[in-house]
Amino acid sequence: MDVRVETIREASQELVDAFGRLLPQLSSTAKPLDHEAVDRMVTCDANTVLIARAADGIVGTLTLVLLPLPSGLRGRIEDVVVDSSARGQGVAGLLIQEALRIADKAGARTVDLTSRRDREAANRLYERLGFEARQSTVYRLA
């Protein structure tokens, strides 16, 4: 599969439609995004929204968040999702490698991501790319 990774700076109907198709594959509780929500996401200074584009359209996305903190610039990779029709073809790896390149160029000290244990293929990919599981407790207030 011929795929190129692009940084998105403007919301478009194509992107809104892609998130409408991809987000349910990532989370059963994610609410659909409208044009305004996508625009807010792609224009946020802390975010870099990447897409993977194949001949037939957008097949994956990732959001890199760069946060200047007292301990230094930190990166987080969020909401990596590849369309079920394109999985197993290296798309997620391309997205992550580009996110890591951007984070490195920006001077990020670390880049973190989280993944559920049951996402075995994704976890194997993250380890192949050099990520190491941390002994940490994640807290969430809904």
- Counting the structural domains of the chain, the total is 1
pTM for the full predicted model: 0.93
User: CATH no. for residue 117?
Assistant: 3.40.630.30
Does residue 136 fall inside a structural domain? Answer: no
DSSP 86: G
Does residue 140 fall inside a structural domain? Answer: no
Helices (H), 13-141: 13-26, 35-43, 91-106, 120-128
Does residue 113 fall inside a structural domain? Answer: yes
The residue range of the domain holding 47 is 4-128
Q: What is the pLDDT of residues 8-51, one digit of tens each?
A: 999 999 999 999 999 999 999 999 999 999 999 999 999 999 99
Q: What is the pLDDT of residues 97-140, one digit of tens each?
A: 999 999 999 999 999 999 988 889 999 999 999 999 998 888 88
**Residue 107 — left, alpha, or beta (φ > 0 → left; ψ -120 to 50 → alpha)?**
left
